[in-house]
Amino acid sequence: MKYTIFPPDKLKTTISLPSSKSISNRMIILNALSMNMHSVENLSTCEDTQVILDAFNSTSNVFDVKGAGTAMRF
């Protein structure tokens, strides 16, 4: 017996994750790569996360990532 599974035309969901630095940084980057126009909420308040947000919201080609290792890699 064979089954054919078709994906939905549109997927709309909400995912609640803890406000950790690691998850926050990855969510910001995934959100940008998916070209999603919705903002990510409940982000970590650490400097690394703020540096990534500042870089994505900047119109400059030069960023000061300070000591943010994740931001440096991206």
pTM beyond 0.75, yes or no? no
Distance CA 22, CA 74 (A): 14
pLDDT the model gives residue 49: 92
pLDDT the model gives residue 50: 92
Distance CA 71, CA 17 (A): 20
Closest CA to 71 of 37, 36, 24, 35: 24
Is the per-residue pLDDT at 17 higher than 80?
A: no
- pLDDT classification of 4: cutoffs 50, 70, 90: very high
Average pLDDT score over the chain: 87
Distance CA 10, CA 46 (A): 34
Q: Region of 51 please: left (phi>0), alpha (psi -120 to 50) or beta.
A: alpha
pLDDT the model gives residue 67: 84
